[in-house]
Amino acid sequence: MDSEKLAEFYKTLGDKTRLRILSLLKVDERCVCELVEILGISQPTVSQHMRRLKSVHLVKERRQGRWVYYSLDGSLYPFFHSILESLPNPKQELNVSERKMVCD
Residues that bind DNA in the complex, under the rule CB under 7 A: 11, 14-17, 31-33, 36, 41-52, 61, 63, 65-69
Pick from DNA, a second copy, none: which does 60 bind, CB < 5 to 8 A by kind? none
- Nearest approach in angstroms of CB 79 to a second copy is 4
- In terms of CB distance, is 20 or 30 closer to a second copy? 20
Please provide residue 62's backbone torsions phi and psi, each rounded to the nearest 5 degrees.
-140, 115
Pick from DNA, a second copy, none: which does 72 bind, CB < 5 to 8 A by kind? none
What is d(CA 93, CA 90) in angstroms, rounded to the nearest whole number? Answer: 5
Q: Which residues bind a second copy (CB under 8 A)?
A: 1-4, 6-16, 18-20, 23, 77-79, 82-83, 85-88
